[in-house]
Structure 1
Amino acid sequence: MRLSHDPPLDPTPGEARDALRRELLRPEYNDSDLLQRIVDRLRRWLDDGVSTTAEAPPLQTFATLLVAVLLVLALVWLLTRLRGSARVRRGGAVLGERGVSAAELRARAEAALAAGRHEEAVVDAYRALAVRAVERGRIADVPGATADEVARALVEASPDRAAGVPAAARLFDDVLYGDRPATADQARSVLALDDAVAGAR
């Protein structure tokens, strides 16, 4: 009688594969949904926080909630300030383009209007009006001047011809910093204001 040195295979290889497959299909091996685990962890943290708060004195609970609200408000304020700063950096100041003449800005505005780019036409037309006033010595050359500051200076310099300048300044701000669309009529009105106030033509 011959003895086999190999142990008997019980179960067979096929049966072992089936058993392993059934084992791996059990729910405890498939609990790998990352989103569900994150939600469960947050729920546990929230439950722990609520139970801790329930045991804390009312004054301490109120102070904790107040600090949390203030932190959220500070975060919202910081995000809005960062967005506003990014818009200002992207757009630039009214008199920010050094070395560009009023005539060049006026030509750019007219070309943008002809091409249907009304927002560019409004911005360049208002800048042309401001730069022309600087070139003629009517207002001071202040590189960081806002549209509103330029409007006030123009109204002081030419009160009889600058009545529409504050409205044009608001339009400039709305288009450049508020990302609002402009119409052809609005662009033409700023060009006409350049003519009236600065005597472009």
Structure 2
Amino acid sequence: MVSLLISLLDPVDIGRGEARRAAIQELLKSEYAKESLVDRVTRTVNQFLDDLLDQASVGVAGSVVARAVLIAIVIAMIVAVVMIALRATRGGTARQTGIFGEHRRTASEHREAAERLAAESRWAEAIRERLRAVARDLEDRVIVDSAPGRTAGELAAEAGRALPGLAAELVTAARVFDDVTYGEVPGTAEAYGILRDLDDRLRTARPTFGQDTRAVPS
């Protein structure tokens, strides 16, 4: 594939028929026998670019325009790949550390940090700290097991089984946490309010293990 791109970008003026034959020979190699989705998309883009060069037959000016368009497309593709890779790396690193990250704090410390961040309108960070307060409080009250590396979704599922009356709110809170932590969704005061209200309700809720009733406030 690299050699194909080089042949298209090479400023040396070779015949279009020769370039097409070289591209076809490249694609017939055994490495293309079992293409992934990415490979098929790349091949389709290459074909489009090849057609673009074929159509740019109005002398030197047409060739220059075609080559400029090709370079712009390749650069855009490279930028997109790099951005996706960086996002995947950030997301993978964050998921490995679970909800809490690397530092252990008490539920009260997480709540204080959340309120301080909220006062500064740092909503995404405040949301993360508030869910950590929820998780630590549930662990301290033995409503959920202490599990290093647990995700927000796993916390919501386990806590929801013990507190069915708040299961839906727990799922919503986990989704908000994941959105601002991994999905790069901006935090908002309204989203933080969801976490804060849930935390307040959970602190007075009693588990109903093995029962089919709603959580009962103390």
Aligned length: 158
Distance in 1, Cα, partners of 2:92 & 2:23: 44
**Structure 1's 132 and 45: CA in aligned 2 closer, same or farther, altered over 3 A?**
farther
- Give yes or no for the alignment of 1:40 onto 2:45: no
Identify unmatched segments of 5+ residues in structure 2. 1-8, 43-76, 206-218
1:72 corresponds to 2:43: no
Equivalent runs, 1:83-98 vs 2, <5 Å: 83-90=87-94, 92-98=97-103
Alignment pair present for 1:100 and 2:105: yes
Partner of 1:140: 145
1:7-33 CA distances to partner (integer Å, 9 max, x unpaired)? xxxxxxxxxxxxxxxxxxxxxxxxxxx
TM-score, structure 2 as length reference: 0.59
Q: Which has the larger radius of gyration?
A: 1
- Alpha-carbon distance in structure 2 between the residues aligned to 1:99 and 1:180: 25
- How far apart are residue 160 of structure 1 and its match? 1.8
TM-score by length of 1: 0.64
Question: Which ranges of structure 1 fall in alignment gaps of 5 or more residues?
Answer: 1-37
Paired position in structure 1 for 2:21: 51
Higher relative contact order structure (alpha carbons within 8 Å, sequence separation ≥ 6): 1
Select the residue among 119, 130, 152 that pairs with 1:114: 119
Gap change, CA 1:67 and 1:165, over 3 Å in 2: same
Cα RMSD for the two superposed structures = 3.6
| CA distance 1:74–1:138, change in 2 (3 Å) | farther
Deviation at 1:99, TM superposition (A): 2.3
